Amino acid sequence: MKKFESLQALRGIAVLGVVAFHAMTIEQKYSGGDQLLPGLLQLGQSGVDLFFVISGFVMVTVTRGRFGGRGETGRFLWSRFSRIYPTYWFYYALTATVFLVRPGWVNAAQGHQVDLFASFLLLPGVHLPLVMVAWSLIHELWFYLAFAVLLQFRERLLPLMLLLWAAAVIAANTLLPPATPGPAYIIRHPFTLEFIAGAGAALLLYRQPPPSRDRRTVLLTALAVLPPALALVHHFNIVDTMGLLRAATLGTLYALLVYAAASLESSANRPLPAAVVGLGNMSYTLYLSHILVLSAVGRLWRGAAPAAGSLVDNAVVLPAMFVAVICCGWLAYRLVEQPALALSHRLRHRWFGRPVATGGDGAPHFENQQAS
């Protein structure tokens, strides 16, 4: 079934934001003190928040009409885990090889301390995973496991269960002392609210979609609200926190954006730019690979001994960083992620059969309205 191209485009934008944020760090580390990238790119790290919201939206979409169905929990978990692990393990192997050969090149921010076993399985622990950006995947996996439990109930109870879940997370963060790193830290983390916000956006869209004539207005409103709101987020350093304020602010903003984009796509037949959708398709590979690529370019940069006090080398190397990230990401997407996904789909059909299409990670299905 056709994917939501608008969500793929948003994934592409999100991953570019994350790449830009980490490119700032590489520039600070290797450019001899020169700084060309603006501080506003700190907002790029909120691309992770957008990923979480999109994930919640997709979870509701792919499970529509399948709550309580025989074998659906196994199908769901297989689809989600096989989406995460095979591609991740490829980058885990690359990073582990570097770590074993040159330990000083990996995880310098936490004293080069890693738990290889916990990193391999993406288990919550004291240290960040070996592939440091994979911390977000631990939150993803928790949401998948929790959502698999919700699949055991009647689908009409999903809104209530999501509200109770959100209330429990808010209460835990408001009334209880901070959790130490580990399973409780992930279970209680406010990032869960961003998944729930995305799921709520999907429920709202499917149960009460805006009239077709109003969907462009909804999107334009979201796009008008987003820049000044993100400017305030940057001004008050909200994106640098990991608490309720960040989750509530960015979860709400990005849920509105996702709702508006998906709503308009349901009635519009205009294709989005292929380049942006393509970035979204390979966003997972780009996300996992970009630190390795940026670090490699950074070390080459330092080895080239750039002239102190000059921004000329920055202007050359920074575009080269983005080109290298996208080219390496495209190659790995074609050679690693796509074959892994194809194998996953074949095994899913063999072991769980083919589900009845009642929605999907793709075209929206509204009541009394044929999917576009």
Contacts of 264 (CB under 8 A, 6+ apart): 6, 215, 216, 218, 219
Residue-wise pLDDT for 31-45, tens only, equals 877 788 898 999 999
Between these two residues, 48 and 100, which has the higher pLDDT value?
A: 48
Comparing 48-52, 137-141, 264-268, 359-363, which segment has the lowest mean pLDDT?
359-363
Q: Are 288 and 134 in contact (CB under 8 A)?
A: yes
Q: Residue holding tokens 């799921």? A: 199
pLDDT for 368 equals 32
Residue-wise pLDDT for 124-149, tens only, equals 988 889 999 999 999 999 999 999 99
Residue-wise pLDDT for 200-219, tens only, equals 999 999 988 888 888 889 98
pLDDT for 359 equals 39
Longest Cα–Cα distance in the chain: 65
Phi-psi bin for 247: left (phi > 0), alpha (psi -120 to 50), beta? alpha
pLDDT for 369 equals 32
pLDDT for 363 equals 37
Residue whose C-alpha is closest to residue 341's, from 371, 361, 365, 363: 361
Residue-wise pLDDT for 7-37, tens only, equals 999 999 999 999 999 999 888 888 877 788 8
The C-alpha R_g of the chain, in whole angstroms, comes to 21
291: Cα separation from own chain's centroid: 15
